[in-house]
């Protein structure tokens, strides 16, 4: 494997005073350290999606998908060490120092990491006090608004062998709450502005111990998967599992936990067959927003568990999103915050019509005025300006649309490296504009790493890869997005991009099949009909190609080969000209 440059969250840790401890009793010290690794450190790293890059005798370098995961892991380790060290004489305590940085690294063929991102994390660890965690400003920026942290601002620090001053924050472990611990109970009227949910233990209706173990695993995985969505606050397992086996009042539990929504369910078993049902409830009204059931065999093991979790999360998240958009729509204008304005913009941004696009830009500009570093608003504002540039039948884009889109996308990437949706949309915008394409592709791949369970993220990432002809990367992502089903808002768009992949990769028959499905689902889709027309022309089916093109021209009057050349973000000139020739063959005028 060739070396690869990427953005990564890096954690560096070592034991304070290891030489002194080993000098006093080397065998005992090494045995204690091995026990800590097997009982605490390695399992905690695994739970938080970390990868141990390398170990030293007393330390480790670990790569995480996000800074949030890195900080959660560090907090859990340091808090556990405080408990373990209680009552242990100071000269015998094992204490860790930890540094965390978000930066550019180079991954070599053997998986080792090199570069400033690694060096800065190591230097941050070196200045941390025993039992503490030091974060660079780049890392702290990703977590300051998402986690409940108590920090000390150490100001700009000159780290050894690092040319630039690095602003450093020291996380106070003793006063910090682990990020997945629920907040103290608050009144239902004080619930947070963003979507919040508690997943209750599913009821075991048959009392079978094997089923109990399985269904608890399903619930834990649902909690973990939902926590990957930055717009969803999820109550931790240890706060919801206290209700296991109890008949509960949904409204009271929601008020106690401070959430807007509750997910509950049940499981039944007959032989090796099981049935799991789930219901999403609006806690304030008691209304059931979604419900479904899933059947399978326990013999399928983790495959069944993964399938059920993916199905539930794939249905619940867009339902939550829709409910939150409606909640924001009903709020008085003078009470709207940046997140509310972002939510209000969503349906207009994805409507892909010029009038709706302008409405979305208005909401997003207001959100950015309130919070200039709000990554989701920056990313979708970039998206909207890209649409103005790439839609052939819309009014001509303004002179500043290109520069505005690029600037917004870059700001979103800088502000939202831990936000999968922001990374995906901003990266897609850069790829579509053919600016900083490598950066854009890195961003969409990082977004998939952050949240592979988001149908929207995998759709956007797959689309960006398609325009760059990374068909091997795009095809499985787009098919995964389609697999979430027609209830997902981007379902027909995903089908359409599957058709584009097949068209650009030279498989017109497969493109025809996918484009027909997309056009059936959304007869008003311009893109489905131009893809269908081009694919039919390449397949030699001229009469059908002409009919498809006529429908496209009905939806997009005034379209020409020249306009399509400016609109289509196909990076390979030869591929672009082949598509344009096919459209011309179908009847599109020059």
**CB-based contacts of 299, cutoff 8 Å, min separation 6:** 272
Q: Whole domain around residue 254: which residue ranges? A: 188-323
* Sign of the four-CA dihedral 479, 444, 470, 434: positive
pLDDT in tens, 559-578: 899 989 988 999 999 999 99
271: pLDDT strictly greater than 50: yes
The stretches of 331-470 forming alpha helices (DSSP H) are 338-349, 354-370, 375-390, 401-415, 420-433, 437-450, 455-467
Element holding 83 (H helix, E strand): helix 67-85
Strand duo 59-64 + 4-15: pairing? antiparallel
pLDDT in tens, 5-23: 888 899 999 998 888 888 8
Strand duo 261-270 + 273-282: pairing? antiparallel
Residue 165 lies in a domain: yes
The residue from 265, 299, 323 where one domain ends is 323
Residue 243 and residue 302 in one domain = yes
pLDDT in tens, 216-233: 888 988 888 888 787 788
Residue 85 and residue 154 in one domain = yes
Question: What mean pLDDT do residues 69-84 have?
Answer: 88
- What pLDDT does 492 receive? 83
The reported pTM is: 0.63
- What pLDDT does 174 receive? 52
The residue from 175, 210, 244 where one domain ends is 175
Burial of 565 (0-12, 13-18, 19+ CB in 10 A): middle
How many domains does one find in the chain? Answer: 2
Distance of alpha carbon 228 from alpha carbon 544, whole angstroms: 44
Going from the C-alpha of 114 to that of each of 10, 118, 261, 388, 525, the distances in angstroms are 11, 6, 44, 40, 46
pLDDT in tens, 414-461: 988 888 899 999 999 999 999 999 999 999 999 998 888 888 899 999
Residue 26 and residue 117 in one domain = yes
pLDDT tier at 399, thresholds 50, 70, 90: low
Residue 65 and residue 109 in one domain = yes
**CB-based contacts of 247, cutoff 8 Å, min separation 6:** none
Residue 207 and residue 290 in one domain = yes
pLDDT tier at 285, thresholds 50, 70, 90: confident
Question: What mean pLDDT do residues 392-414 have?
Answer: 83
Residue 166 and residue 287 in one domain = no
- What pLDDT does 200 receive? 92
User: What is 173-201 written as a DSSP string?
Assistant: GGGPPPTTSPPPP--GGG--SSEEEEEPP
Residue 167 and residue 262 in one domain = no
192: pLDDT strictly greater than 70: no
The residue from 301, 323, 345 where one domain ends is 323
Residue 68 and residue 152 in one domain = yes
Distance of alpha carbon 441 from alpha carbon 428, whole angstroms: 7
pLDDT in tens, 474-529: 999 999 888 877 767 778 889 999 999 999 999 999 999 999 999 998 888 888 99
264: pLDDT strictly greater than 60: yes
């Amino acid at each position: 494997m060739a070396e690869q440059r990427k953005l990564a969250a890096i954690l560096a840790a070592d034991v304070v005073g290891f030489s002194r401890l080993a000098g006093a009793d080397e065998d005992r010290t090494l045995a204690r350290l091995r026990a800590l690794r097997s009982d605490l450190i390695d399992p905690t790293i695994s739970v938080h999606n970390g990868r141990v890059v390398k170990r030293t005798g007393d330390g480790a370098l670990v790569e995480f998908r996000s800074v949030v995961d890195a900080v959660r892991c560090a907090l859990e380790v340091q808090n556990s060490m405080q408990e373990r060290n209680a009552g242990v004489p100071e000269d015998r305590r094992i204490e860790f120092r930890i540094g965390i940085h978000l930066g550019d690294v180079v991954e070599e063929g053997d998986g080792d990491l090199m570069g400033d991102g690694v060096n800065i994390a190591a230097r941050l660890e070196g200045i941390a006090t025993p039992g503490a965690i030091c974060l660079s400003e780049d890392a702290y920026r990703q977590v300051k608004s998402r986690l409940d942290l108590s920090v000390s601002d150490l100001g700009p620090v000159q780290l050894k062998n690092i040319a630039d001053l690095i602003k450093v924050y020291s996380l106070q472990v003793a006063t910090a709450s682990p990020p997945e611990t629920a907040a103290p109970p608050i009144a239902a009227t004080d619930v947070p502005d963003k979507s919040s949910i508690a997943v209750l233990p599913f009821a075991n209706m048959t009392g079978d111990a094997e089923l109990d173990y399985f269904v608890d695993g399903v619930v834990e995985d649902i909690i973990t998967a939902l926590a990957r969505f930055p717009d969803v606050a999820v109550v931790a397992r240890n706060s919801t599992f206290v209700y296991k086996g109890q008949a509960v009042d949904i409204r009271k539990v929601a008020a106690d936990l401070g959430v807007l929504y509750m997910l509950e369910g049940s499981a039944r078993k007959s032989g090796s067959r099981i049935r799991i049902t789930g219901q999403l409830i609006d806690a304030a009204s008691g209304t059931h927003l979604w419900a479904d059931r899933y059947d399978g065999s326990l013999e399928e093991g983790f495959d069944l568990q993964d399938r059920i979790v993916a199905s539930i999360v794939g249905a619940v998240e867009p339902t939550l999103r829709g409910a939150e958009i409606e909640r924001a729509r009903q709020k008085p204008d003078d009470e709207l915050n940046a997140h509310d304005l972002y939510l209000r913009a969503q349906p207009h941004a994805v409507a892909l019509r010029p009038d709706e696009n302008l409405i979305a830009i208005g909401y997003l500009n207001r959100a950015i005025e309130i919070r200039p570093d709000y990554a989701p608003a920056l990313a979708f504002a970039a998206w909207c300006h890209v649409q103005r540039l790439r839609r052939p039948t819309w009014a001509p884009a303004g002179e500043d649309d290109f520069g505005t889109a690029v600037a917004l996308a870059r700001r979103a990437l800088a502000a939202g490296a831990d936000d999968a949706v922001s990374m995906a949309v901003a990266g897609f915008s850069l790829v579509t504009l053919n600016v900083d394409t490598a950066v854009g592709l890195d961003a969409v791949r990082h977004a998939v790493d952050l949240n592979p369970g988001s149908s929207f993220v995998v759709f956007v990432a797959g689309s960006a890869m398609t325009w760059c002809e990374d068909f091997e990367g795009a095809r499985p992502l787009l098919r995964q997005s389609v697999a979430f089903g027609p209830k997902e808002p981007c379902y027909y768009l995903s089908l359409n991009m599957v058709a584009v992949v097949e068209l650009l990769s030279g498989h017109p028959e497969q493109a025809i099949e996918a484009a027909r499905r997309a056009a059936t689902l959304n007869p008003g889709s311009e893109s489905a009909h131009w893809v269908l027309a081009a694919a039919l022309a390449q397949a030699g089916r001229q009469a059908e190609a002409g009919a498809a093109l006529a429908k496209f021209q009905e939806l997009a009057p005034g379209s020409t080969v020249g306009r399509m050349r400016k609109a289509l973000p196909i990076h390979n000139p030869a591929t672009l000209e082949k598509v344009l020739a096919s459209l011309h063959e179908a009847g599109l005028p020059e």
